[in-house]
Structure 1
Amino acid sequence: MGTHIDRRPHGVVVLTVDHPPVNALPVRGWHELAEALNVTGAEPQTRAVVLQAAGRGFNAGVDIKELAADPGHTKLVEVNRGCYEAFKAVYECPVPVISAVHGFCLGGGIGLVGNSDIILASEDATFGLPEVDRGALGAATHLSRLVPQHTMRAMFYTGRSVTAQQLLHFGSVWQVVPRAELADAAVALAEEIAAKDPLVVRRAKESLNGIDPVDVNRSYRFEQGFTFELNLTGVSDRARAEFVHNGPEEA
Protein backbone atom coordinates (compact mmCIF):
# COMPACT_ATOMS: atom_id res chain seq x y z
CA MET A 1 0.00 0.00 0.00
CA GLY A 2 1.35 3.43 -0.94
CA THR A 3 3.01 4.85 -4.05
CA HIS A 4 5.28 2.36 -5.78
CA ILE A 5 8.21 3.51 -7.92
CA ASP A 6 9.21 1.45 -10.96
CA ARG A 7 12.23 2.79 -12.84
CA ARG A 8 12.00 1.43 -16.37
CA PRO A 9 14.62 1.46 -19.14
CA HIS A 10 15.20 4.59 -21.24
CA GLY A 11 14.48 6.99 -18.37
CA VAL A 12 10.79 6.18 -17.93
CA VAL A 13 9.49 6.08 -14.34
CA VAL A 14 6.11 4.50 -13.55
CA LEU A 15 4.47 5.59 -10.28
CA THR A 16 1.60 3.38 -9.15
CA VAL A 17 -0.72 4.58 -6.38
CA ASP A 18 -2.20 1.71 -4.40
CA HIS A 19 -4.50 2.54 -1.47
CA PRO A 20 -7.32 -0.04 -1.37
CA PRO A 21 -10.18 -0.18 -1.72
CA VAL A 22 -10.74 2.89 -3.93
CA ASN A 23 -7.54 4.97 -3.75
CA ALA A 24 -9.11 7.57 -1.47
CA LEU A 25 -5.86 8.90 -0.09
CA PRO A 26 -5.22 9.70 3.57
CA VAL A 27 -2.87 12.49 4.60
CA ARG A 28 0.13 10.17 4.42
CA GLY A 29 -0.83 9.00 0.94
CA TRP A 30 -0.81 12.49 -0.57
CA HIS A 31 2.58 13.28 0.93
CA GLU A 32 4.00 9.93 -0.24
CA LEU A 33 2.89 10.67 -3.78
CA ALA A 34 4.38 14.16 -3.68
CA GLU A 35 7.66 12.79 -2.38
CA ALA A 36 7.80 10.08 -5.06
CA LEU A 37 7.31 12.70 -7.78
CA ASN A 38 9.86 15.08 -6.27
CA VAL A 39 12.48 12.36 -5.83
CA THR A 40 12.14 10.73 -9.25
CA GLY A 41 11.75 14.04 -11.07
CA ALA A 42 14.99 15.29 -9.56
CA GLU A 43 16.94 12.27 -10.79
CA PRO A 44 18.93 13.27 -13.89
CA GLN A 45 18.23 9.97 -15.63
CA THR A 46 14.45 10.48 -15.49
CA ARG A 47 13.00 11.59 -18.83
CA ALA A 48 9.25 11.00 -18.39
CA VAL A 49 6.90 9.89 -15.61
CA VAL A 50 3.76 7.77 -15.90
CA LEU A 51 1.27 8.18 -13.04
CA GLN A 52 -1.19 5.33 -12.71
CA ALA A 53 -3.13 3.48 -10.02
CA ALA A 54 -3.90 -0.06 -8.98
CA GLY A 55 -7.34 -1.37 -8.17
CA ARG A 56 -10.82 -0.32 -9.20
CA GLY A 57 -10.17 3.31 -10.08
CA PHE A 58 -7.51 5.95 -10.50
CA ASN A 59 -8.39 8.10 -7.49
CA ALA A 60 -11.42 8.73 -5.27
CA GLY A 61 -10.13 11.92 -3.68
CA VAL A 62 -9.31 12.34 -0.01
CA ASP A 63 -10.12 9.83 2.71
CA ILE A 64 -13.36 11.34 4.04
CA LYS A 65 -13.49 8.84 6.89
CA GLU A 66 -10.11 10.03 8.15
CA LEU A 67 -11.41 13.60 8.22
CA ALA A 68 -14.69 12.63 9.86
CA ALA A 69 -12.85 10.83 12.65
CA ASP A 70 -10.95 13.99 13.61
CA PRO A 71 -12.90 16.08 16.15
CA GLY A 72 -10.90 19.19 15.25
CA HIS A 73 -9.40 20.56 12.05
CA THR A 74 -5.92 19.05 12.25
CA LYS A 75 -6.50 16.39 9.60
CA LEU A 76 -8.26 18.88 7.33
CA VAL A 77 -5.28 21.22 7.43
CA GLU A 78 -2.89 18.30 6.87
CA VAL A 79 -4.80 16.77 3.96
CA ASN A 80 -5.25 20.14 2.26
CA ARG A 81 -1.52 20.66 2.52
CA GLY A 82 -0.94 17.13 1.22
CA CYS A 83 -3.18 17.69 -1.81
CA TYR A 84 -1.50 21.01 -2.49
CA GLU A 85 1.95 19.40 -2.39
CA ALA A 86 0.92 16.45 -4.58
CA PHE A 87 -0.73 18.62 -7.24
CA LYS A 88 2.25 20.97 -7.17
CA ALA A 89 4.69 18.06 -7.52
CA VAL A 90 2.88 16.90 -10.67
CA TYR A 91 2.88 20.36 -12.19
CA GLU A 92 6.46 21.21 -11.26
CA CYS A 93 7.99 17.83 -12.08
CA PRO A 94 10.93 18.77 -14.35
CA VAL A 95 9.87 16.20 -16.95
CA PRO A 96 6.49 15.48 -18.54
CA VAL A 97 3.98 13.59 -16.40
CA ILE A 98 1.52 11.29 -18.18
CA SER A 99 -1.56 10.28 -16.20
CA ALA A 100 -3.05 6.90 -17.12
CA VAL A 101 -6.62 6.95 -15.80
CA HIS A 102 -8.96 4.01 -15.39
CA GLY A 103 -12.29 3.72 -13.60
CA PHE A 104 -13.22 6.72 -11.48
CA CYS A 105 -11.18 9.91 -11.16
CA LEU A 106 -12.80 12.07 -8.48
CA GLY A 107 -11.95 15.05 -6.30
CA GLY A 108 -8.23 15.07 -5.71
CA GLY A 109 -7.79 12.83 -8.75
CA ILE A 110 -8.88 15.79 -10.88
CA GLY A 111 -6.11 17.84 -9.27
CA LEU A 112 -3.55 15.23 -10.29
CA VAL A 113 -4.66 14.75 -13.88
CA GLY A 114 -5.45 18.43 -14.41
CA ASN A 115 -1.86 19.30 -13.56
CA SER A 116 -0.45 16.49 -15.70
CA ASP A 117 1.09 17.16 -19.08
CA ILE A 118 -0.79 14.44 -20.92
CA ILE A 119 -3.78 12.25 -20.03
CA LEU A 120 -4.52 8.80 -21.37
CA ALA A 121 -7.71 7.07 -20.27
CA SER A 122 -9.34 3.69 -20.50
CA GLU A 123 -12.77 3.34 -22.03
CA ASP A 124 -14.36 2.96 -18.58
CA ALA A 125 -12.82 6.13 -17.12
CA THR A 126 -15.01 8.88 -15.67
CA PHE A 127 -14.04 12.25 -14.21
CA GLY A 128 -15.86 14.35 -11.63
CA LEU A 129 -15.72 16.76 -8.70
CA PRO A 130 -18.25 15.85 -5.97
CA GLU A 131 -16.81 18.52 -3.67
CA VAL A 132 -20.05 20.49 -3.21
CA ASP A 133 -21.79 17.35 -1.95
CA ARG A 134 -18.94 16.82 0.54
CA GLY A 135 -19.12 20.33 1.99
CA ALA A 136 -15.77 21.25 0.45
CA LEU A 137 -14.41 23.25 -2.45
CA GLY A 138 -11.28 22.95 -4.56
CA ALA A 139 -9.78 21.58 -7.79
CA ALA A 140 -12.00 23.72 -10.02
CA THR A 141 -8.62 25.16 -10.99
CA HIS A 142 -7.69 21.78 -12.43
CA LEU A 143 -11.11 20.87 -13.83
CA SER A 144 -10.92 24.12 -15.82
CA ARG A 145 -7.90 22.64 -17.60
CA LEU A 146 -9.99 19.67 -18.71
CA VAL A 147 -13.32 21.13 -19.83
CA PRO A 148 -14.67 24.48 -21.03
CA GLN A 149 -15.70 27.08 -18.45
CA HIS A 150 -19.47 26.52 -18.46
CA THR A 151 -19.11 22.75 -18.48
CA MET A 152 -16.80 23.08 -15.49
CA ARG A 153 -19.36 25.17 -13.62
CA ALA A 154 -22.20 22.74 -14.37
CA MET A 155 -20.08 19.81 -13.23
CA PHE A 156 -18.99 21.64 -10.09
CA TYR A 157 -22.48 22.68 -9.01
CA THR A 158 -24.13 19.32 -9.78
CA GLY A 159 -21.32 16.91 -8.95
CA ARG A 160 -21.88 15.10 -12.23
CA SER A 161 -19.09 13.23 -13.98
CA VAL A 162 -18.03 13.11 -17.62
CA THR A 163 -16.62 10.23 -19.60
CA ALA A 164 -13.21 9.76 -21.14
CA GLN A 165 -14.82 10.06 -24.57
CA GLN A 166 -16.21 13.48 -23.66
CA LEU A 167 -12.77 14.66 -22.57
CA LEU A 168 -11.34 13.23 -25.78
CA HIS A 169 -13.85 15.43 -27.62
CA PHE A 170 -12.69 18.48 -25.63
CA GLY A 171 -9.08 17.63 -26.44
CA SER A 172 -7.90 17.24 -22.84
CA VAL A 173 -7.50 13.47 -23.09
CA TRP A 174 -4.91 12.46 -25.64
CA GLN A 175 -6.08 8.90 -26.21
CA VAL A 176 -8.80 6.51 -25.04
CA VAL A 177 -7.90 2.82 -25.11
CA PRO A 178 -9.28 -0.47 -23.78
CA ARG A 179 -8.47 -0.86 -20.10
CA ALA A 180 -6.15 -3.81 -20.72
CA GLU A 181 -4.02 -1.65 -23.04
CA LEU A 182 -3.81 1.48 -20.87
CA ALA A 183 -0.55 0.81 -19.03
CA ASP A 184 1.32 -0.20 -22.18
CA ALA A 185 -0.04 2.79 -24.13
CA ALA A 186 1.10 5.20 -21.42
CA VAL A 187 4.59 3.70 -21.27
CA ALA A 188 4.87 3.72 -25.06
CA LEU A 189 4.05 7.44 -25.11
CA ALA A 190 6.52 8.07 -22.29
CA GLU A 191 9.21 6.20 -24.23
CA GLU A 192 8.51 8.33 -27.30
CA ILE A 193 9.09 11.47 -25.24
CA ALA A 194 12.09 9.94 -23.46
CA ALA A 195 13.76 9.37 -26.84
CA LYS A 196 13.99 13.14 -27.36
CA ASP A 197 16.91 15.24 -26.18
CA PRO A 198 16.39 15.35 -22.38
CA LEU A 199 17.60 18.92 -21.95
CA VAL A 200 15.25 20.17 -24.66
CA VAL A 201 12.29 18.34 -23.10
CA ARG A 202 13.03 19.71 -19.63
CA ARG A 203 13.28 23.25 -20.95
CA ALA A 204 10.07 22.66 -22.94
CA LYS A 205 8.24 21.67 -19.74
CA GLU A 206 9.58 24.74 -17.95
CA SER A 207 8.62 27.04 -20.81
CA LEU A 208 5.09 25.64 -21.12
CA ASN A 209 4.50 26.14 -17.40
CA GLY A 210 5.83 29.66 -17.75
CA ILE A 211 3.23 30.65 -20.34
CA ASP A 212 0.23 29.20 -18.49
CA PRO A 213 -2.44 31.91 -18.10
CA VAL A 214 -3.29 30.75 -14.55
CA ASP A 215 -0.91 30.15 -11.66
CA VAL A 216 -2.36 26.77 -10.70
CA ASN A 217 -0.63 26.66 -7.31
CA ARG A 218 -1.94 30.03 -6.17
CA SER A 219 -5.37 29.47 -7.73
CA TYR A 220 -5.86 26.15 -5.92
CA ARG A 221 -4.65 27.61 -2.63
CA PHE A 222 -7.27 30.36 -3.02
CA GLU A 223 -9.96 27.70 -3.44
CA GLN A 224 -8.79 25.88 -0.34
CA GLY A 225 -9.46 28.97 1.73
CA PHE A 226 -13.18 28.54 1.09
CA THR A 227 -12.99 24.94 2.26
CA PHE A 228 -11.59 26.18 5.57
CA GLU A 229 -14.41 28.74 5.76
CA LEU A 230 -17.08 26.09 5.20
CA ASN A 231 -15.54 23.91 7.89
CA LEU A 232 -15.74 26.73 10.40
CA THR A 233 -19.49 27.00 9.77
CA GLY A 234 -20.03 23.32 10.57
CA VAL A 235 -21.61 22.47 7.22
CA SER A 236 -18.62 20.35 6.19
CA ASP A 237 -18.81 18.25 9.35
CA ARG A 238 -22.45 17.48 8.62
CA ALA A 239 -21.68 16.55 5.01
CA ARG A 240 -18.85 14.22 6.04
CA ALA A 241 -20.97 12.60 8.75
CA GLU A 242 -23.72 11.91 6.24
CA PHE A 243 -21.17 10.48 3.79
CA VAL A 244 -19.76 8.10 6.41
CA HIS A 245 -23.23 7.13 7.67
CA ASN A 246 -24.45 6.23 4.18
CA GLY A 247 -21.36 4.10 3.66
CA PRO A 248 -20.58 4.78 -0.01
CA GLU A 249 -17.59 2.99 -1.44
CA GLU A 250 -16.15 5.97 -3.28
CA ALA A 251 -15.05 9.29 -1.79
Structure 2
Amino acid sequence: MEFLSWNIDEGVAIVTIQRPPANALSQGIIQEVDQMLDALENDSSVRVIVLHGEGRFFSAGADIKEFTEVTSGAEFSKLASSGQRVFERLETFPKPVIAAIHGAALGGGLELAMGCHLRYVAEDAKLGLPELTLGLIPGFAGTQRLPRYVGMAKAAEMLFTSEPINGIEAVEWGLANKAFPVDELLPKTVEVAKKIALKSPITLKAAIDMLQYSKHASYYDGVKAESESFGTVFESQDAQEGIQAFIEKRQPTFTGK
Protein backbone atom coordinates (compact mmCIF):
# COMPACT_ATOMS: atom_id res chain seq x y z
CA MET A 1 0.00 0.00 0.00
CA GLU A 2 1.08 3.56 -0.62
CA PHE A 3 -0.38 5.29 2.43
CA LEU A 4 -0.85 2.61 5.11
CA SER A 5 1.52 0.15 6.74
CA TRP A 6 1.19 -2.11 9.75
CA ASN A 7 2.95 -4.54 12.02
CA ILE A 8 1.41 -7.15 14.30
CA ASP A 9 2.39 -7.55 17.95
CA GLU A 10 0.65 -9.96 20.35
CA GLY A 11 -2.62 -9.91 18.44
CA VAL A 12 -2.58 -6.15 17.83
CA ALA A 13 -2.16 -4.71 14.32
CA ILE A 14 -0.61 -1.25 14.64
CA VAL A 15 -1.65 0.57 11.45
CA THR A 16 0.13 3.78 10.48
CA ILE A 17 -1.20 6.47 8.13
CA GLN A 18 1.78 7.71 6.10
CA ARG A 19 1.01 10.71 3.92
CA PRO A 20 3.24 13.59 5.02
CA PRO A 21 3.15 16.30 6.04
CA ALA A 22 -0.43 16.28 7.39
CA ASN A 23 -1.75 12.80 6.54
CA ALA A 24 -4.50 14.57 4.60
CA LEU A 25 -7.39 12.19 4.09
CA SER A 26 -7.32 11.54 0.35
CA GLN A 27 -9.55 9.13 -1.50
CA GLY A 28 -6.47 6.94 -1.79
CA ILE A 29 -6.20 6.65 2.00
CA ILE A 30 -9.90 5.87 2.34
CA GLN A 31 -9.60 3.11 -0.26
CA GLU A 32 -6.58 1.69 1.50
CA VAL A 33 -8.43 1.71 4.85
CA ASP A 34 -11.04 -0.47 3.14
CA GLN A 35 -8.34 -2.77 1.77
CA MET A 36 -6.64 -2.91 5.16
CA LEU A 37 -9.89 -4.05 6.76
CA ASP A 38 -10.18 -6.77 4.11
CA ALA A 39 -6.71 -8.05 4.97
CA LEU A 40 -6.98 -7.86 8.75
CA GLU A 41 -10.50 -9.26 8.99
CA ASN A 42 -9.22 -12.49 7.46
CA ASP A 43 -6.01 -12.60 9.51
CA SER A 44 -6.64 -14.83 12.54
CA SER A 45 -3.49 -13.51 14.24
CA VAL A 46 -5.10 -10.05 14.52
CA ARG A 47 -7.66 -9.45 17.24
CA VAL A 48 -7.44 -5.66 17.69
CA ILE A 49 -6.42 -2.78 15.39
CA VAL A 50 -4.73 0.44 16.50
CA LEU A 51 -4.81 3.27 13.94
CA HIS A 52 -2.46 6.23 14.24
CA GLY A 53 -0.69 8.79 12.08
CA GLU A 54 2.99 9.13 11.27
CA GLY A 55 4.69 12.45 11.97
CA ARG A 56 2.99 15.45 13.54
CA PHE A 57 -0.67 14.57 12.94
CA PHE A 58 -3.25 11.82 13.11
CA SER A 59 -4.91 13.41 10.08
CA ALA A 60 -5.34 17.14 9.64
CA GLY A 61 -8.39 16.75 7.39
CA ALA A 62 -9.52 15.97 3.89
CA ASP A 63 -7.34 16.64 0.87
CA ILE A 64 -8.93 19.92 -0.22
CA LYS A 65 -7.09 19.86 -3.54
CA GLU A 66 -9.15 16.83 -4.52
CA PHE A 67 -12.30 18.92 -4.12
CA THR A 68 -11.21 21.15 -7.01
CA GLU A 69 -11.38 18.11 -9.29
CA VAL A 70 -15.07 17.53 -8.52
CA THR A 71 -17.34 19.00 -11.18
CA SER A 72 -20.86 18.52 -9.78
CA GLY A 73 -22.88 18.19 -6.62
CA ALA A 74 -23.84 14.64 -7.58
CA GLU A 75 -20.19 13.70 -7.86
CA PHE A 76 -19.48 15.33 -4.51
CA SER A 77 -22.33 13.35 -2.92
CA LYS A 78 -20.92 10.16 -4.40
CA LEU A 79 -17.52 10.97 -2.90
CA ALA A 80 -19.14 11.48 0.51
CA SER A 81 -21.08 8.22 0.26
CA SER A 82 -17.94 6.24 -0.50
CA GLY A 83 -16.24 7.59 2.62
CA GLN A 84 -19.34 6.99 4.72
CA ARG A 85 -19.42 3.36 3.62
CA VAL A 86 -15.82 2.74 4.70
CA PHE A 87 -16.23 4.53 8.04
CA GLU A 88 -19.45 2.61 8.72
CA ARG A 89 -17.48 -0.55 8.01
CA LEU A 90 -14.95 0.57 10.63
CA GLU A 91 -17.70 1.10 13.19
CA THR A 92 -19.25 -2.32 12.53
CA PHE A 93 -15.94 -4.16 12.06
CA PRO A 94 -15.95 -7.46 14.03
CA LYS A 95 -12.59 -6.68 15.67
CA PRO A 96 -12.11 -3.62 17.91
CA VAL A 97 -10.52 -0.63 16.16
CA ILE A 98 -8.83 2.01 18.32
CA ALA A 99 -7.70 5.44 17.14
CA ALA A 100 -4.59 6.93 18.80
CA ILE A 101 -4.87 10.66 18.07
CA HIS A 102 -2.00 13.11 18.33
CA GLY A 103 -1.42 16.48 16.74
CA ALA A 104 -4.70 17.04 14.95
CA ALA A 105 -7.76 15.10 13.88
CA LEU A 106 -9.74 17.63 11.88
CA GLY A 107 -12.54 17.32 9.36
CA GLY A 108 -12.29 13.96 7.65
CA GLY A 109 -9.54 12.98 10.08
CA LEU A 110 -11.93 13.32 13.02
CA GLU A 111 -14.66 11.56 11.06
CA LEU A 112 -12.25 8.65 10.51
CA ALA A 113 -11.47 8.57 14.24
CA MET A 114 -15.17 8.71 15.15
CA GLY A 115 -15.71 5.60 13.05
CA CYS A 116 -13.36 3.69 15.37
CA HIS A 117 -14.72 1.93 18.46
CA LEU A 118 -12.38 3.70 20.90
CA ARG A 119 -10.37 6.92 20.81
CA TYR A 120 -7.31 7.68 22.92
CA VAL A 121 -5.84 11.16 22.53
CA ALA A 122 -2.79 13.21 23.34
CA GLU A 123 -3.62 15.87 25.89
CA ASP A 124 -2.67 18.64 23.44
CA ALA A 125 -4.34 17.08 20.39
CA LYS A 126 -6.80 19.20 18.41
CA LEU A 127 -10.11 17.64 17.38
CA GLY A 128 -12.66 19.48 15.28
CA LEU A 129 -14.89 19.76 12.24
CA PRO A 130 -13.92 23.03 10.51
CA GLU A 131 -15.80 22.43 7.25
CA LEU A 132 -18.08 25.46 7.66
CA THR A 133 -15.06 27.73 7.23
CA LEU A 134 -14.84 26.39 3.67
CA GLY A 135 -18.52 26.91 2.97
CA LEU A 136 -19.12 23.17 3.33
CA ILE A 137 -20.45 20.74 5.91
CA PRO A 138 -18.90 17.43 7.01
CA GLY A 139 -19.58 14.67 4.51
CA PHE A 140 -18.35 11.46 6.14
CA ALA A 141 -21.16 11.21 8.74
CA GLY A 142 -19.58 13.79 11.05
CA THR A 143 -22.88 15.59 11.62
CA GLN A 144 -24.46 12.29 12.68
CA ARG A 145 -21.75 10.72 14.85
CA LEU A 146 -20.59 13.82 16.71
CA PRO A 147 -23.89 14.56 18.55
CA ARG A 148 -24.10 10.91 19.53
CA TYR A 149 -20.82 11.32 21.38
CA VAL A 150 -20.94 14.85 22.78
CA GLY A 151 -24.63 15.76 22.70
CA MET A 152 -26.52 18.12 20.42
CA ALA A 153 -25.49 21.43 22.00
CA LYS A 154 -21.75 20.74 22.03
CA ALA A 155 -21.89 19.26 18.52
CA ALA A 156 -23.62 22.40 17.29
CA GLU A 157 -20.98 24.57 18.96
CA MET A 158 -18.11 22.60 17.35
CA LEU A 159 -19.77 22.76 13.93
CA PHE A 160 -20.93 26.39 14.00
CA THR A 161 -17.73 27.89 15.42
CA SER A 162 -15.35 25.49 13.63
CA GLU A 163 -13.11 25.74 16.70
CA PRO A 164 -11.33 22.52 17.74
CA ILE A 165 -11.21 21.15 21.26
CA ASN A 166 -8.12 19.70 22.90
CA GLY A 167 -7.61 16.13 24.05
CA ILE A 168 -8.55 16.77 27.66
CA GLU A 169 -11.77 18.49 26.58
CA ALA A 170 -12.48 15.60 24.19
CA VAL A 171 -12.44 13.20 27.15
CA GLU A 172 -14.60 15.52 29.27
CA TRP A 173 -17.10 15.87 26.42
CA GLY A 174 -17.32 12.12 25.76
CA LEU A 175 -15.59 12.21 22.38
CA ALA A 176 -12.48 10.35 23.58
CA ASN A 177 -11.87 7.67 26.19
CA LYS A 178 -8.62 8.81 27.81
CA ALA A 179 -5.94 11.45 27.31
CA PHE A 180 -2.20 10.94 27.76
CA PRO A 181 0.96 13.01 27.34
CA VAL A 182 1.86 12.77 23.67
CA ASP A 183 4.94 10.59 24.22
CA GLU A 184 2.84 8.07 26.18
CA LEU A 185 -0.10 7.97 23.78
CA LEU A 186 0.84 5.13 21.44
CA PRO A 187 2.43 2.87 24.11
CA LYS A 188 -0.58 3.30 26.40
CA THR A 189 -3.02 2.69 23.55
CA VAL A 190 -1.19 -0.47 22.49
CA GLU A 191 -1.17 -1.60 26.12
CA VAL A 192 -4.96 -1.34 26.24
CA ALA A 193 -5.24 -3.05 22.85
CA LYS A 194 -3.16 -6.01 24.06
CA LYS A 195 -5.45 -6.44 27.07
CA ILE A 196 -8.46 -6.46 24.77
CA ALA A 197 -6.72 -8.93 22.44
CA LEU A 198 -6.74 -11.51 25.26
CA LYS A 199 -10.53 -11.65 25.10
CA SER A 200 -12.41 -14.16 22.98
CA PRO A 201 -12.87 -13.01 19.36
CA ILE A 202 -16.38 -14.43 19.56
CA THR A 203 -17.37 -12.27 22.50
CA LEU A 204 -15.67 -9.18 21.07
CA LYS A 205 -17.68 -9.54 17.86
CA ALA A 206 -20.89 -10.15 19.81
CA ALA A 207 -20.29 -7.07 21.96
CA ILE A 208 -19.62 -4.92 18.88
CA ASP A 209 -22.77 -6.25 17.23
CA MET A 210 -24.88 -5.42 20.29
CA LEU A 211 -23.42 -1.92 20.57
CA GLN A 212 -24.26 -1.29 16.92
CA TYR A 213 -27.72 -2.77 17.36
CA SER A 214 -28.43 -0.12 19.99
CA LYS A 215 -28.06 2.62 17.34
CA HIS A 216 -31.27 1.75 15.55
CA ALA A 217 -33.29 -0.66 17.73
CA SER A 218 -35.68 0.12 20.54
CA TYR A 219 -34.51 -0.66 24.07
CA TYR A 220 -36.72 -3.74 24.35
CA ASP A 221 -35.74 -5.06 20.93
CA GLY A 222 -32.11 -4.63 21.96
CA VAL A 223 -32.64 -6.47 25.23
CA LYS A 224 -34.25 -9.35 23.36
CA ALA A 225 -31.40 -9.46 20.84
CA GLU A 226 -28.89 -9.44 23.68
CA SER A 227 -30.49 -12.45 25.36
CA GLU A 228 -30.37 -14.37 22.08
CA SER A 229 -26.72 -13.43 21.54
CA PHE A 230 -25.99 -14.39 25.17
CA GLY A 231 -27.25 -17.90 24.46
CA THR A 232 -25.33 -18.21 21.21
CA VAL A 233 -22.07 -17.13 22.83
CA PHE A 234 -22.61 -19.56 25.71
CA GLU A 235 -22.45 -22.47 23.27
CA SER A 236 -18.94 -21.53 22.12
CA GLN A 237 -15.82 -23.35 23.25
CA ASP A 238 -14.43 -20.02 24.39
CA ALA A 239 -17.30 -19.55 26.84
CA GLN A 240 -16.71 -22.97 28.35
CA GLU A 241 -12.98 -22.24 28.55
CA GLY A 242 -13.64 -18.92 30.25
CA ILE A 243 -15.97 -20.43 32.84
CA GLN A 244 -13.59 -23.32 33.56
CA ALA A 245 -10.61 -20.99 33.84
CA PHE A 246 -12.49 -18.87 36.37
CA ILE A 247 -13.28 -21.94 38.46
CA GLU A 248 -9.66 -23.10 38.26
CA LYS A 249 -8.35 -19.59 39.02
CA ARG A 250 -6.22 -19.34 35.89
CA GLN A 251 -6.05 -17.16 32.79
CA PRO A 252 -8.26 -18.44 29.96
CA THR A 253 -6.86 -19.26 26.56
CA PHE A 254 -9.38 -18.28 23.92
CA THR A 255 -9.20 -19.75 20.42
CA GLY A 256 -12.12 -18.06 18.70
CA LYS A 257 -14.19 -21.26 18.56
TM range (shorter): 0.7 to 0.9
Provide the TM-score with structure 2 as the length reference.
0.76
1:204 partner amino acid: A
State the shift of 1:213 in Å. Answer: 4.5
Q: 1:179 to 1:75 in 2, by over 3 A?
A: farther
2:111 maps to 1:111? yes
User: Could you tell me how far apart the structure 2 residues matched to 1:5 and 1:111 are?
Assistant: 21
State the shift of 1:133 in Å. Answer: 1.5
Unaligned runs of 5+ in 2: 218-257
2:60 maps to 1:60? yes
The aligned length equals 213
Larger radius of gyration: 2
Q: 1:176 to 1:94 in 2, by over 3 A?
A: same
Matched ranges for 1:86-235 at <5 A:
86-138=86-138, 139-213=142-216
Provide the TM-score with structure 1 as the length reference.
0.78
Runs of 4+ in 1 over 6 A off after TM superposition: none
Higher RCO structure (Cα 8 Å, ≥6 apart): 1
Q: 1:159 to 1:195 in 2, by over 3 A?
A: same
2:47 partner amino acid: R
Partner SS state of residue 49, structure 2:
strand
1:125 partner amino acid: A
After superposition, the CA RMSD in angstroms is 2.0
Unaligned runs of 5+ in 1: 215-251
2:8 maps to 1:7? yes
User: Could you tell me how far apart the structure 1 residues matched to 2:195 and 2:83 are?
Assistant: 30
State the shift of 1:171 in Å. Answer: 3.2
Identity across aligned pairs (percent)? 28
1:5 partner amino acid: W
2:55 partner amino acid: G
User: Could you tell me how far apart the structure 1 residues matched to 2:211 and 2:105 are?
Assistant: 25
User: Could you tell me how far apart the structure 1 residues matched to 2:162 and 2:40 are?
Assistant: 34
User: Could you tell me how far apart the structure 1 residues matched to 2:55 and 2:110 are?
Assistant: 17
